[in-house]
Amino acid sequence: MSIKANNPSLKSWVEVPAGSDFPIQNIPFAVITTEGDTPRVATRIGDTVIDLKVLFDFGYFEGLQFALEDFDTDKLNNMMRSGKEGTRALRNRISDLFVDSNNELRKNDNHIHQALLDIDDVQPLMPIEIGDYTDFYSSEQHAYNVGCLFRDPDNALMPNWKHIPVGYHGRASSILESGVDFHRPKGQKKPPSEEVPVFGQCNLLDFELETAFFTYEGKPLGDNITTEEADDYIFGMALLNDWSARDIQGWEYVPLGPFLGKNFASHISCWIVTLDALEPFRVSGPVQDPKVLPYLEYEGDKHVDINLEVIIQPENGEENVVAKSNYRHMYWNMNQQLAHHTINGCNMRLGDCYGSGTISGPEEGEFGSMLEISWKGTKPFKMSDGSERKFINDNDTVIMRGFSEKNGIRIGFGEVKAKVLPTK
């Protein structure tokens, strides 16, 4: 697929620091605010944030199917109503304005002064109004590791796992943007030493290294989206830390699955990277054996090569990289997840969020949760300050970063981070 804004030869007249996640080939979307001003839609190149409301006011988007309220707003949802064709045209237009051969905006100092902001002067906000949230369980290595920990290697994967993209409906109200701290949850647990459950704070707080994707408006209730159609319904992706309270989850999950052990907080990164921007980083997926049912079959490269890492930073301490993984390790891809989610006629809505499930690679050092890294607490991770982590401590900050890179072009997400505060 040839998308104009993805041209690897493009250079911007805006400075892009070496190693930046945000070259002119990225053009992600976010909602930002600055001191004394209202929220609005923005993009960025390097460390320069571009106010799209200002560019609209000055007439730079004439001929595109957008209105002022698409940019003068506190969520991306209005802009997303234009669908894949609309956001692709917008991204291509922004690319045109900022390529080094175009002086249309470059020579207008007054417009530049109003539209271009320094990243340090900007506060990114929750980018999308999320109506529904589904979390999948689609990394084979993660599912295998968890099965080994709680059952045995011979029965690690449940019988349905290689036949359907397993998922559950989560809680959208507690999805938070990067940088928002949260309190350690509390609830019922049943420690091995106790005959009856006890109430108290979660002692086994864990991160889950995930990505998320967001949909445009879907089809009416009763219709389904095929794997071939799925790309047209996916707006973009973010990093996702889907926190887990393992001790609360372990007691409650039978028979209906995740509930209080999962719904207390999840964090997403604030700059939504479009599926279009990730197109050059498509890769083939694993051979799926046994053969999937026809509605889950797909053609072409539908996985994405995204390098991922997780960092734990103690209060006033150094960053410790505890895991490096890659989104290409997924068994089920986004197209299959969306096709399965809708095959029963379930309707997808604009702004809905879908978590990948914990992303674990095949080797130690590539596992996407402390449950796996510490092997259920039996192999503590040694930190640079001499302390150990089996799970996450109070006042730890967990940071996740991710990027794709090919032919000298790096398309990244920035980061998602959050600090764990003591239980209320």
DSSP 15-51: ---TT-S--TTT--BEEEE-TTS--EEEEEETTEEEE
Which residues on adjacent β-strands are paired with residue 198? Answer: 189
Contact of 174 with 203, CB cutoff 8 Å: no
Pick from 169, 268, 166: nearest CA to 213: 268
Q: Give strand ranges (E) for 180-281.
A: 182-183, 186-189, 198-201, 205-206, 209-215, 234-241, 244-245, 266-268, 273-274
Distance CA(421)–CA(424), nearest Å, equals 8
To which residue do tokens 């039996």 refer?
A: 378
Q: Give yes or no for a contact between 351 and 130, defined as CB atoms under 8 angstroms apart.
A: yes
For the residues of 392-411, what is the DSSP string, one character each?
A: PPTT-EEEEEEEEEETTEEE
Q: Which residues contact 22 (CB under 8 A, 6 or more apart)?
A: 16, 28, 44, 45, 46, 47, 271, 412, 414
Angstrom CA distances, 369 to 14, 222, 317, stand at 38, 36, 21
Q: Out of 111, 113, 142, 267, which one is annotated catalytic?
A: 142
Phi, psi (deg, nearest 5) at residue 332: -100, 130
Tokens of 78: 């209005």
* Contact present, 353 and 338 (Cβ < 8 Å): no
User: And the tokens for 220?
Assistant: 């009416």
CB 134 within 8 A of CB 165: no
Rounded Cα distance, 102 and 124, in Å: 28
Is it true that the peptide bond before 290 is cis, omega within 30 degrees of 0? yes
Residue 142: active-site member: yes
- Residues with a catalytic annotation lie at 142
